Structure formats: structure tokens, C-alpha cells
Amino acid sequence: MSTVRRASPLMSQAEARELGLDREDLVRLYRDMLATRLVEERGNLLFKAGKLPGSYYTGRGNEAASVGVAAAMGADDIASPLHRNLGVHLVRGVPPAAIFCQFMGRDGGATRGRDSNLRSNDFGPGKGLLAGVSHLPAMIPVITGMALAFQLRGEDRVAIGWCGDGAAARGDMHESMNLAGVRRLPIVYIIDNNQYAYSTPNRLSFACEHLADRGPAYGFEGIVVDGTDVVTVFREAQRAIEKAREGGGPTIIELITLRMEGHAVHDDAGYVPRELLAEFGSKDPLERFRSWLAEIEDCSDDELAALEDEVRAWIEAGVLEAESSPPPDPAGVREGVYAQPLG
Ligand SMILES: Cc1ncc(C[n+]2csc(CCOP(=O)(O)OP(=O)(O)O)c2C)c(N)n1
């Protein structure tokens, strides 16, 4: 029997204003989700044209789960996003040019050609993004350790760690949440429940009703949120982050989405039932929010079309910049791979 709260949807303009979201902030949320989707679509075309080495992962359907949470972070907070969370990078100020450089394995990319996807989040200082190693969920103990460091140093900062539904079953996730609960660490765990861990469906992954039920099991709050609804995601993330900042301890937020494409480009996701795809297709995060903006903020089609043109131009400029970035110099192959000895 589940003990967690199910977040109710955010309905009105007045409620948005209470959260500190004015019209410009709301349009910005839409812009960041749109940019997320369009960067990923452009990356797919580049992959098909043979311009991206390795494999290629997208988070179609998960845009609100990335953007809504990242937009609620404070400037000095730190996040460990995953392969479905491109939107977190965009919200934290990583431009498309840097992302395409990374995707294309160019010298200007975050790993300077050593890896070609979003496994590395190290896009420079000031972004508050922890460099990723693996999704399963290698970064969760690290981000939990960062929350412990913030607490020990008396810093006013919060750590936000993303984890997939499949990865949530691993021991390192359980151990981290246990420590976070015992020490009441300033951390928010985001479980991006897109219902499939590669081809494994939820029903073969866990037997509790919600993954958020694990919060109360470890002594802290769990919330289940419709992860296709960006303003509700924002509200719950903001609440949990500020609670953590004020010493109220951890929260686990389970965002219900559906991975709308295969695990990566090689996978056609034929194992996902069509009815489920149709259900989530009808509540596409971008389309939903577009209708919301039209209804609540009177955003016209022309205004949103102009915004889309601007975002597309920004992305194309990013592709051109990445294409002109040189490949890494083979002579420097060992650079940045091993830590330099201290002293
Ligand atoms: C340690 C480790 N084992 C296996 C993999 C391969 N792998 C990457 S993502 C993934 C599935 C993850 O599922 P989930 O946590 O639900 O996240 P999703 O991909 O569905 O967003 C697997 C098996 C990996 N990257 N690292």
C-alpha cells in the first residue's frame, strides 16, 4: 500500500505567480523544452548522416522532467543529470554548440573527443553539472556525497540526482538513500520513471506501487508527479529543493513519463505497447504546455512560431560552430585521462 503523495496539477495563472513564475519565466520553460527536443532531433539527423560517432540517445517525452527540475535549482546547487536529461544542460547554460561538439567527438567538446554522448556533463565551471560516468546509477553515491559535503561545510546548497527506473533497483541507490535519510542530507532524488529500463518494463523491475514509496522506507518524503507537466514538475522540485535548503532533509520525486523512442538509435522499441505510446503521445510535454500557455497566458501561434524560428537558428549556428571545431589531436590522447599527481 503506497504512502506517498500524488501531486495535483498546477491549474491557474495565480498559482504560477505564487511560485514566482511570470509570463517570461513560463515562456522560458517552453523555450528550454523546445530547444531540448530540437537539439535531439538535429542530433538524430546528424547521426543518420554519419556525423556522430558511437551511439545516440534521446529523451523524447522526458523534456519536462529535465527542464522543470533544472529551472527550480538555485545558482550554486549541483546536479547529476543522465543520458535522457539534455534539457538540464540547456537550462544550466550549456549552448547547443558545446553539445554538438561533444556529440561529434570534436576537440571543443567536454571530453575533447574521448566520449561522444552526454555521459560527460563537465561543460565548464559555474554550470553546477557533475561529470557523469554511468547511468546505473554511478553518480548517485557521488551526488549524495556532495550533499554530505554541503552539510558538513554548512553551505546553503542542494544536490539533485537523477536516476532511471531500472537503475533505481541497484544497491548503490538504496545505500545512498539510506545515508541521506539518516543524515537528513540536502538532496533531492529525481526518479525519471519512463517505464522501461532498456526493454524491461516496470512490472518486471519492482514490486512496490511507486518507486517514490522508497522515500518513506528510508525515512523521508516521496512524491509521485506527472512528468509530462512541466509546471507541476517545477512546483514540486522547487518545494523539495527549498525544503532541503532549509534543513528539512531529502525528498524522492518520481516523475512518470514514457520513453517515446528506443533506448538508443539501434533500438526500435518494438516491445512498448502501441496503446501506451498513443496514451503518452496524446500528452506530449511540449504540446500540453503550448496549449496551457495559449489558454493561461494568451500566447499566440505567431509568438510561439517566432520563438521556434529563433531556437532553430540558434541550433543551426551551434551545428556550424561544432562542424568547424577540429577533431582532437592524436598526440594529446593521454591528456585529461589520468589525474595529474599532486605537488
Ligand atoms: C554500469 C552499467 N551497466 C549497464 C549499462 C548499460 N545501460 C545504460 S542505460 C541502461 C538502462 C537504464 O534504464 P533506466 O535506469 O530505467 O534508465 P532509462 O535508460 O530508461 O532512462 C543500461 C542497461 C551502463 N551504462 N552502465
Position 123 scores a pLDDT of 66
Structural domain for 135, as ranges: 5-321
Q: Find the CATH number of the domain harbouring 290.
A: 3.40.50.970
Position 180 scores a pLDDT of 98
163 CA from centroid of ligand 1 (Å): 10
Asked whether residue 64 is domain-assigned, the answer is yes
Asked whether residue 335 is domain-assigned, the answer is no
Position 282 scores a pLDDT of 96
Asked whether residue 237 is domain-assigned, the answer is yes
Asked whether residue 338 is domain-assigned, the answer is no
Give the residues of the chain that fall short of pLDDT 70: 1, 119-124, 342-343
CB 196 less than 6 A from any atom of ligand 1: yes
Question: Which atom number of ligand 1 is nearest to the Cα of residue 82?
Answer: 21
Asked whether residue 339 is domain-assigned, the answer is no
Distance CA 203, CA 82 (A): 23
CB 137 less than 6 A from any atom of ligand 1: no
Asked whether residue 185 is domain-assigned, the answer is yes
- Residue whose Cα lies nearest atom 1 of ligand 1: it is 136
Asked whether residue 9 is domain-assigned, the answer is yes
Position 326 scores a pLDDT of 95
Distance CA 40, CA 46 (A): 10
What value does the mean pLDDT of the chain take?
Answer: 94
Position 80 scores a pLDDT of 94
Confidence (pTM): 0.95
CB 84 less than 6 A from any atom of ligand 1: yes
Q: Using the CB atoms, write b or e for 125-162: b if 16+ within 10 Å.
A: eebbbbebeebbbebbebbbebbbebbeeeeebbbbbb
Q: Say how many domains are in the chain.
A: 1
137 CA from centroid of ligand 1 (Å): 8
Asked whether residue 79 is domain-assigned, the answer is yes
Q: Is the four-CA dihedral 105, 107, 110, 114 of positive or negative sign?
A: positive
- Residue whose Cα lies nearest atom 23 of ligand 1: it is 198
Position 117 scores a pLDDT of 77
- Residue whose Cα lies nearest atom 8 of ligand 1: it is 135
Q: Using DSSP, state whether 28 is helix, strand or coil.
A: helix
CB 103 less than 6 A from any atom of ligand 1: no
Q: Which residue type occupies 310? A: E
267 CA from centroid of ligand 1 (Å): 13
167 CA from centroid of ligand 1 (Å): 6
Position 185 scores a pLDDT of 98
Given a contact cutoff of 8 angstroms between Cβ atoms, the answer to whether 166 and 140 are in contact is no
